[in-house]
Chain A
Amino acid sequence: MRAGSAPAVRIITVAVIVGGWEAVARSGLLPGTVLPPFSSVAAGLYDLVRQSSTWFAFYVSAWAIGVGLGIGAGAGLVVAALIGASARVSHVFEPLLYYVGSMPKIIILPVLLLYLSTGIYSKVGMAAVSAFFPVAITTAQAMREVREVHLRAARCLGAGRWRLLAKVYAPAAIGPVLSGLRLGLAVAVTGVLLAETSVASAGLGYQAMQYYDNLRIADMYALLLLVLLAAVAANSLLGWLIRHVTRYHQPTPEKVFFT
């Protein structure tokens, strides 16, 4: 098929999905509480964007995500710098980080609720714990994969530990660190919003649950759609930043990152 067919395929797909959605919802095959018509979800979206309460919820969640991501990523960088500089230490710790990082973080929500109370700080805690692991793992990996030649050259020129970190490791690892941050952002968003659906009094997750409890299903769909769009936008922005920052890097063998 032709190279330019992708936009056409996408437009057709969107049309089919929206049309099918509207048709099925209007046909009465499914109750309106399961699948409200697309038109009412779109109308709900329009209303949501104009309501200040939506933006307040957005602000609350974004604050928790941002602060938590900062704390978690900072801790992740420190831990990675400590264990990543030595191959032996990182061989002992990395699998542990990987295993613990693969666990569903929601299971520590009860502990965070006890320590940080049910307010926004338990959400900040969720974001921090979630973001810590991807940042720590990708950074530690990146530090071990710094080119040996660069390290030797820097040592020959008399670089000490801190110089090495600042002038060799940091520029070489910036790409993977940002990739870790990107993964961290994704899991921090998940952690915060899930915690908000569980116990909260503000935020996007809380708002969605309010709509669900009041059976305002169209509004709930609209809000979830808004959240997904915002998450995808933030993710692509970071993706663009990564490509921009690493544009001078020589291609390295492909790596696979886990969350």
Chain B
Amino acid sequence: MTRAGLAGRVRPPSPAAAAPGRPPLRRTARLAAARVTVTVALLAVVQAGVQTRVINPLFVARPTTALAGAARGLANGSLGGPMLVTLYEVAASLVISGAAGLGLGYLLWRFNALGRAYEPWVAGLFAAPLILLYPIPLVIFGRTTTAVIAQASVMAVLPVILYTRQGLAGIEPQLLKVAAVYRLSRWQGLRHVFAPAAAPTLATGLRLGLTYVLVGVISMEYLASIGGLGKTINFAYLQFDMAQVYSAVVLVFVLAGMLLALVGRLQWMVRR
């Protein structure tokens, strides 16, 4: 075994331990390069498989075709338009669930009796497949983007509530005492003590919220054929236009990847 391999196995650098100081830039770049290489290699294998007809070309589009289709669709608006609709739904759901979740989480923490009574329920609902309730917003709001936003917001609000309460409850008592010594008003306390101390947990809640928003929005678009990219995928499949299916899937990956990276960045910023 090489020395580097041994060192790598004996002392696994956990993400939590690596968080305070960012890894040196060269290492980050090398890791990124390795990931890109792996991804490109996997896509190349698929490409070769489709080209040689080992993979049925009717079922799987060539990655190059899908990428080119995605770029073309963005340029002429046939996929760019749906992508914007999806982005709008995701952003609206994220704002609604974020605001409501912060507020409700704060209430559950502030009034402990409510928190103790409701937290197991919120956790239970969080584990339940709430996306199945999508006919309900359809019945209430009709086949509109509002129904999509309502469904995604309900799903995403739960992790935000849970992590907000957990973040506030996990604040060290000393900090509260310091706040009391400085005679901070409730608002000042929130601004200068609670928010910074709970920020990492809140960011985690928001990040989970984002994944649930994405699942809610795309799934509902697909299943109910309303809105943006999910609807595009469903339509393309029904017309057996697999190239279009994969192009839209590429754009879902791009959109979700960008948003996840954005929220991940936020998470890293508040964890200093």
Contacts and interface: CB of A to CB of B under 8 A. Distances in A.
B10 A148 contact: yes
Given A193-B132, A208-B135, A152 B34 contact: no
Given A99-B257, A114-B59, A258 B132 contact: no
A145 B129 contact: no
A92 interface: yes
Contacts, number: 163
A33 interface: yes
Interface in B155-184: none
A6 interface: yes
Nearest to A148: B10
Given A151-B10, A231-B128, A235-B124, A104 B135 contact: no
A236 B124 CA distance: 8
B222 A190 contact: no
B59 A190 contact: no
Interface in A112-129: 113-115
B25 interface: no
Contacts of B116: 5-6, 9
Interface residues of A, number: 65
B131 A96 contact: no
Nearest to B237: A110
Contacts of B20: none
Nearest to B246: A111
Contacts of A107: 218, 222, 230, 233, 248-249, 252
**Chain B binding site: helix, strand, loop or mixed by DSSP?**
helix
For this complex, into which size category does the number of interface residues on chain B fall? 35 or more
Contacts of A37: none
A68 interface: no
A102 B211 contact: yes
A34 B139 contact: yes
Tell me the interface secondary structure of chain A in the complex: helix
Contacts of B237: 110, 113
23 contacts: A1-B112, A1-B113, A6-B113, A9-B118, A34-B140, A88-B5, A88-B8, A91-B31, A96-B38, A104-B218, A104-B252, A107-B218, A110-B234, A110-B236, A111-B245, A114-B58, A145-B12, A193-B132, A197-B134, A224-B132, A228-B125, A231-B129, A236-B124
Given A228-B128, A259-B208, 17 more contacts: A1-B112, A9-B114, A9-B116, A86-B8, A88-B5, A103-B256, A106-B218, A109-B222, A110-B236, A145-B14, A152-B10, A194-B223, A197-B223, A228-B129, A232-B125, A232-B127, A259-B211
Interface of B: 4-5, 8-14, 16, 31, 34-35, 38-39, 58-60, 111-114, 116-118, 121, 124-125, 127-136, 139-140, 204, 207-208, 211, 214-215, 217-219, 222-223, 230, 233-234, 236-237, 242, 245, 248-249, 252-253, 256-257, 260
